[in-house]
């Protein structure tokens, strides 16, 4: 057997020692992560937080009086939990008032309908609008209608939302809500109604943000419940002329100041680097904002609190960001990215919880290709919680979705959203829809994620090119 050169032998010894040391560090962090999961699952903290938010604040539409109450609640809650830093950053948000919403079928068979104004919609003229409806299967179908073909009529987009665990059906139909009013106006319509973007059969209408376009006449926009959309279809089979009456009292009221509310668990050896876990504090005004996104607020806050209570500090700072005005256009997320532009290079990774309280089943990443498998290995600790490895194409969640373009790695902790769009943006978004055990599992996984990321030695940049 040949004798290895001394330098080469030393290099091998150093590599072996380094590998052993890295494995020991990983194992130690896994042990802490397992302890965090046990504490989180045995604790009611997450549920206590979302209960507090829904009971003591309730609906909190951006720019409303209750939005201010929510900010005060968050500041007091985070301070009371003992975070190392608690502060808020101003965000300019649009103010919109819902007002009345009424709709009915006038002919051929008069019946009332359940309706809600879409967020940002203008009002109808006083007394409302009555006109025949013209049905379209999709936004694309409306876009293909002949010019001026909708004069004196109400457009009706009748796109059904498919049920998927990952919420994929929502992306296929939400365009009709956000862009339908522009398309209908370009064809000469007086107003637009849409089948609710929801997977339920309840007679509840789903609200959500819509938008206008400069140079295109704004028209009133509303959503009707899924059973009422079925009712219109049944009538159209009997008579091609179905006349609908719509009255909205919506009003745009300029701008106001809200806040991103932020809390931190200070890091030790790498305190200037940040692991961001976020959720959005605002909600729509018809439910109590329990699953959207009180659950997310509770998940990330409780996860960070469990780490705060450890006897040892994480290496990196863990930053909890409760974003303002997500529902009306990711306003808080954009404001955060702008305000923290100078320190984004110090953001190690970011993730947002904004998909209810269903159990986390998979973690997707957007990190350098060379780091992906290391991240999968780091989070193997969550396998006992039912979490499997995913892909390297994550967006991170709505309010952090703009960060990858700015170089920040993100992760998506995928929740089971099979029934999320049954309740999303309706009066039915209430506390009873949250399973405390499923919520606790979310807290456990987020705590493990934040801890493992705060102590990781793996370089996550540069990000792969977007496909």
**Positions marked active-site:** 326
Structure tokens at 119: 């967020």
Buried b (16+ CB within 10 A) or exposed e, 149-175: ebeebbbbbbbbbebbebbebbeebbb
Structure tokens at 134: 């013209």
Tokens 């930053």 locate to 319
Q: Are 317 and 275 in contact (CB under 8 A)?
A: yes
Buried b (16+ CB within 10 A) or exposed e, 320-350: bbbbbbbbbbbbbbebbbeebeeeeeebbbb
Give the list of residues 6+ apart from residue 299 with CB closer than 8 angstroms, or none: 46, 279, 353, 357, 439, 442, 443, 446
Q: Are 322 and 91 in contact (CB under 8 A)?
A: no
Q: Say which DSSP state 356 is in.
A: T
Please tell me the distance from the alpha carbon of residue 40 to that of residue 360, in angstroms, as a whole number.
14
Please tell me the distance from the alpha carbon of residue 135 to that of residue 130, in angstroms, as a whole number.
16
Please tell me the distance from the alpha carbon of residue 457 to that of residue 39, in angstroms, as a whole number.
25
Please tell me the distance from the alpha carbon of residue 90 to that of residue 87, in angstroms, as a whole number.
10
Please tell me the distance from the alpha carbon of residue 409 to that of residue 280, in angstroms, as a whole number.
19
Beta-sheet strand order (sheet of 347-352): 85-97, 251-265, 316-323, 270-280, 347-352, 410-415, 360-366, 388-389
Closest to 46 in 3D by CA, of 420, 444, 321: 444
Q: Say which DSSP state 381 is in.
A: G
């Amino acid at each position: 057997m040949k004798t290895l050169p001394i330098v080469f032998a030393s290099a091998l010894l150093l590599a072996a020692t380094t590998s052993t040391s890295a494995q020991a560090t990983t194992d130690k962090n896994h042990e802490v992560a397992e302890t965090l999961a046990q504490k989180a699952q045995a604790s009611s903290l997450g549920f206590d937080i979302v209960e507090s938010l829904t009971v003591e604040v309730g609906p909190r539409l951006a720019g409303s009086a209750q939005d201010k109450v929510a900010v005060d609640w968050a500041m007091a809650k985070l301070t009371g939990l003992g975070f190392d830093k608690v502060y808020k950053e101003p965000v300019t948000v649009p103010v919109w008032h819902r007002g009345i919403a009424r709709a009915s079928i006038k002919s051929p068979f008069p019946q009332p309908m359940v309706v809600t104004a879409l967020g940002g919609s203008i009002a109808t003229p006083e007394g409302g609008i009555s006109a025949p409806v013209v049905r379209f299967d999709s936004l694309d179908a409306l876009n293909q209608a002949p010019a001026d073909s909708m004069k004196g009529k109400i457009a009706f987009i009748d796109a059904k939302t498919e049920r998927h665990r990952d919420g994929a059906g929502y992306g296929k139909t939400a365009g009709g809500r956000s862009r339908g009013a522009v398309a209908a106006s370009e064809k000469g319509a007086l107003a637009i109604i849409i089948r609710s973007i929801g997977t339920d059969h309840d007679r509840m209408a789903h609200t959500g943000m819509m938008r206008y376009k400069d140079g295109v006449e704004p028209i009133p926009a509303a959503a009707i419940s899924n059973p009422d959309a079925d009712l219109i279809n049944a009538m159209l089979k009997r008579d091609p002329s179905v006349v609908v009456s719509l009255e909205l009292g919506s009003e745009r009221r300029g701008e106001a100041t809200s806040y991103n509310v932020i809390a931190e668990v200070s890091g030790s050896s790498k305190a200037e680097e940040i692991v961001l876990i976020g959720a959005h504090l605002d909600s729509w005004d018809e439910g109590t904002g329990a699953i959207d996104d009180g659950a997310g607020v509770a998940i990330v806050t409780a996860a960070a609190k469990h780490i705060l209570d450890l006897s040892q500090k994480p290496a990196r700072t863990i930053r909890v960001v409760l974003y303002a005005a997500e529902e009306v256009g990711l306003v808080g997320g954009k404001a955060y990215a702008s305000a923290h532009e100078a320190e984004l290079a110090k953001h190690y990774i970011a993730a947002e919880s904004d998909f209810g309280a269903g159990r986390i089943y998979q973690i997707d990443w957007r990190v350098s290709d060379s780091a992906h498998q290391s991240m999968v290995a780091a989070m193997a600790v969550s396998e006992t919680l039912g979490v499997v490895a995913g892909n390297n194409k994550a967006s991170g969640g709505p309010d952090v979705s703009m960060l990858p373009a700015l170089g920040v790695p993100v992760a998506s902790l995928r929740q089971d959203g099979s029934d999320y769009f049954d309740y999303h943006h309706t009066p039915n978004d209430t506390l009873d829809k949250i399973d405390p055990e499923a919520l606790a599992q979310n807290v456990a996984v987020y705590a493990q994620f934040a801890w493992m990321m705060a102590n990781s030695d793996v370089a996550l940049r540069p990000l792969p090119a977007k496909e």
